[in-house]
Amino acid sequence: MKYDNKGVMRIVELTGETKQSILDDLLKRSPNNYSQYEEKVNEIIGKVKTERDQALFEYTLKFDKFVLTEDNIKVTGQEIDEAYKKLDPKLVDVIRKSAENIRTFHTKQLRNSWFDAREDGTILGMKITPIAKAGVYVPGGKAAYPSSVLMNVIPAKVAGVGEIIMTTPPGSDGSVNPGTLVAADIAGVDAIYKVGGAQAIAAMAFGTQSIPKVDKITGPGNIFVALAKKAVYGYVSIDSIAGPSEILVLADETANPRYVAADLLSQAEHDELASAILITTSRQLAEQVSVQVGEFVEQLSRTEIMRKSLDNYGYILVADNMRDAIDAVNEIASEHLEILTANPFEVMTKIKNAGAIFLGEYASEPLGDYFAGPNHILPTNGTAKFFSPVNVDDFIKKTSIISYSREALEKVHRDIEKFAESEGLTAHANSIKVRFE
């Protein structure tokens, strides 16, 4: 690897070797690589499964320093009213506007049941049904993000989920972040419980005296939450096992280096494991962005986090041509991809793998995080190769419908019998055969 030390970010020539090295580096951040915590997580899940509410009370006292009881585990209407009073009314208005944009976008994803009837009496179809209960996990403390509440709850609401509950850790005084409560109320959550961590995931997966069992759990959290979701998958459905945040900017010589630097840092500030990568065909832009990043880091508030993020997982890759750059983009399969090139829409047609794509210099990543409408809960750690953003389909079930008349079955019954007999399943074959004896 060749590095340039004029700025804060390392500048690396894009080759097959450097690309693979970076891919290996990024994959180290996957929750699948934190097996040392699995035993503790499984212990928590097992205790909640058997001791139910009592386990929640004990873990909340241990981890959150709050005396949780059956009387205060559920957030009251009065607490929600007080949360509105604590928030700036202008912020409440922004949350409402954001919610409406998210609702409008996700409404376009709705599917209808369909049936295909043929003249011979064959009827095939797909019945669309929303899941009955969904559970949303929301982190607490400094990691409380009202925007994520909207992104989890509104698609479920649009899908028609019958009951949506939310769990979030309380402060030591039993309070819940007011922004979280207001966002939950605006989005339409039915009940909120003051429980956090792996124990909250276990409660939603198996049910306790206070918290109902759900059919699907969504929402971000720390490594214990991620591993708990992985452990309960199969008992319930989950959205994904999310890794640290990441951004990839694909730019040519026409990009504004100040914009690029600002956008890279918008993700680097999340945490020390966040990844911020620029792939460009311009060596000049690479050097300008590295210098500009250094200037921004000194001006912005989360300086230490950004520095460590860039030291660990920040790269500027200089490609010989746009084709090589696009190949690298598709290999990395980033959570957020910004395209800042002369013809971003043309480049976009060649992108196969990305969680969300932002086109042009006025579509920066925070637009998607907060306001535009598409979901910001996105696949990370290269899983955009096979996962999608959270969407309405995550909260529906598809049931196949099959009906044949005697006439329709008579035409094909021997084919079915032959297929079944070839697999040694004579009872299968007989189930068809008896209808024509």
Q: Report, as residue numbers or ranges, the catalytic residues.
A: 335-336
* C-alpha neighbours within 13 Å on the C-beta side of residue 326: 14
By DSSP bridging, strand 123-130 and strand 114-117 are: antiparallel
Sign of the C-alpha dihedral computed for residues 18, 323, 387 and 401 taken in this order: negative
Q: Do 56 and 68 contact (CB within 8 A), yes or no?
A: yes
Helix (H) or strand (E) holding 400: strand 396-403
By DSSP bridging, strand 191-193 and strand 216-218 are: unpaired
Whole-number Å distance between alpha carbons of 319 and 279: 7
Amino acid at 266: S
Q: Which residue has the tokens 């909250």?
A: 200
Phi (first) and psi of residue 120, to 5 degrees: -85, 5
* C-alpha neighbours within 13 Å on the C-beta side of residue 436: 17
